[in-house]
Amino acid sequence: MAYPEGLQAPETSSHGLQASPKMSKPNILIMWLTRFAVGVGLIALAFASAFWLVRTAPSAGVSDEPTAGRTVLVLESRPVQVARQYTGYGVARAIEDADVPARVSSTVTRLPAESRAGNAVTAGDVLMELDATDFREELTMAKQRIADIEAQLKSLDVEEGASSQNLEITQQDLELVRREYERVQEAVRKEAAMPREADQIQKQVLAAEQVLLRAQEDLDRLATRRLGLQAQLHRETASARIAQERVDRCAIISPIDGFIERIDVSQGESLTAGARVARIIDPRSIEVPLGLPASARVDISVGNPVELSTTGSRKRTWTAHVARLSPEDDPSSRTMRVYAEVNQQMTGDLHLPPGAFLQGDVSAGDGADAWIVPRRSVRKDRLLVVRDGIVTSVPVSIRYPITGEYHEFSVPDRDWVVLEEPLQEGELIILSPSRTMTDGMRVEAIAVKDSLASVHHDSRGDGQ
């Protein structure tokens, strides 16, 4: 490349690159001094700005009034009458139920529309009908045989009457011959008749006696025939009753009042005797066998109240009583069996259904005074109480849990615990202690009943 006169070409390296001009040492020193001065200035400006902000910041005022504590709900402790409770589990079952069988072998000819699961029935209602044709024919044949035997008995009555008259005539004839024989013998002794005449009369006596024996035999034979015919009549009468029973059993009826739990057959199905065709239950009386600790036997007796409840998310309760106790303990599980009974009306959908798995809380006796607190108030075996506005923890020991409603505390809780040691009456117990509450924290205690009263007042005001 050509350059104008007076200009020199830049130096190139051995690789053909242009070499940068070299900076002099005074210029480098000035550059570093400038940078240092700018940095120091910026730092000084930052410190000056911070100092100005601190000096001109407004000062916060200090109040001598005490700060308000956290608001907590409390209830006043007091002794209440509590009955010892034992908890067991069991499955509800109907006290009265019936598996309805087919009592004859036949075919289902009619299944009424009312014979459906869930329908109510009364004792005697027809659940279904079976084919009774063969059994009616058997009944007809049995009645015909009875009529034939009764005709034979009437004929026998005629024969017996004739035989009885024949027997009486034969007896009279024999009596006449005997008197004739006595007269001839008297004449022979007086030599007024020949002995031959006496022998002839004696032959007549023997002949009359033979006729009398045959007449008596005929009459006795008729009595034997009567006994045989009467036995046949009884047998055929029994056959007729059995045939009638089979005809009647073709109409399968409900043996009890209740509800149809299931129908196991369909129309046209052939059945054998003994096969179940339906199941009827009466849910108005329910029994629940509950397993309780064997040690509860000394406290539990017939008539003690029982509260039954479901174990699902939708909890429902029923009131029951102890109907009977098992006389024997189970040595393997060390439990006893208690039978709770519920009598209910089948109205609405709140009745206790058979088959439900239930929890049963059995109350023992009339109870005694004890100190109770809601289960949620006990945390790690300690209660938090409020004394002079300060939270204080109190160690407690639980004797046993109970379930029920205690309206004197004005809380809707149903789960409570009975404490071993008594509390101070009127002690303010924090209803729902949290993890953030510690000893010495200042709080403002509000009684539960006062809180509920204000809620009710506000709700009435909103309604107005």
For every residue of 341-403, DSSP letters joined together read EEE----TT-SPPTT-EEEEEEEEEEEEEEEEEEGGG-BTTEEEEEETTEEEEEE--EEEEEE
Tens of pLDDT, residues 425-438: 888 999 988 888 88
Residue 216: DSSP 8-state: H
Please report whether residue 19 resides in a domain: no
What is the rounded average pLDDT of the residues 168-195? 83
Q: CATH number of the domain that 116 lies in? A: 2.40.50.100
CA distances (Å), origin 392, targets 159, 224, 401, 430: 116, 108, 24, 10
- Both structure tokens of 415: 């789960």
Please report whether residue 264 resides in a domain: yes
Please report whether residue 230 resides in a domain: yes
Same domain assignment for residues 138 and 228? yes
Same domain assignment for residues 177 and 223? yes
Q: CATH number of the domain that 73 lies in? A: 2.40.420.20
- Both structure tokens of 48: 């000056």
Tens of pLDDT, residues 290-331: 999 998 998 899 999 999 998 876 778 899 999 999 999 999
Burial of 362 from C-beta contacts in 10 A (0-12 / 13-18 / 19+) = buried
Please report whether residue 290 resides in a domain: no
- The pLDDT of residue 321: 94
Same domain assignment for residues 146 and 224? yes
Q: Structural domain of residue 123, as residue ranges?
A: 98-130+250-278
Please report whether residue 160 resides in a domain: yes
- Both structure tokens of 353: 């259904």
Same domain assignment for residues 72 and 177? no
Same domain assignment for residues 108 and 204? no
Q: Is the pTM of this model over 0.75?
A: no
Would you tell me the crossing angle of helices 133-189 and 195-249 to the nearest 10 degrees?
170
Same domain assignment for residues 417 and 375? yes
Please report whether residue 266 resides in a domain: yes
Same domain assignment for residues 150 and 233? yes
- The pLDDT of residue 445: 87
- The pLDDT of residue 19: 44
Same domain assignment for residues 106 and 180? no
Same domain assignment for residues 265 and 404? no
Residue 198 has pLDDT above 70, yes or no: yes
Does residue 370 or residue 15 have the better pLDDT?
370
Same domain assignment for residues 175 and 256? no
What is the rounded average pLDDT of the residues 243-262? 94
Mean pLDDT of the chain: 84
- The pLDDT of residue 122: 93
Please report whether residue 28 resides in a domain: no
Domain count, the chain: 3
What is the rounded average pLDDT of the residues 446-451? 79
Same domain assignment for residues 116 and 217? no
- The pLDDT of residue 67: 54
Please report whether residue 168 resides in a domain: yes
Residue 451 has pLDDT above 80, yes or no: no
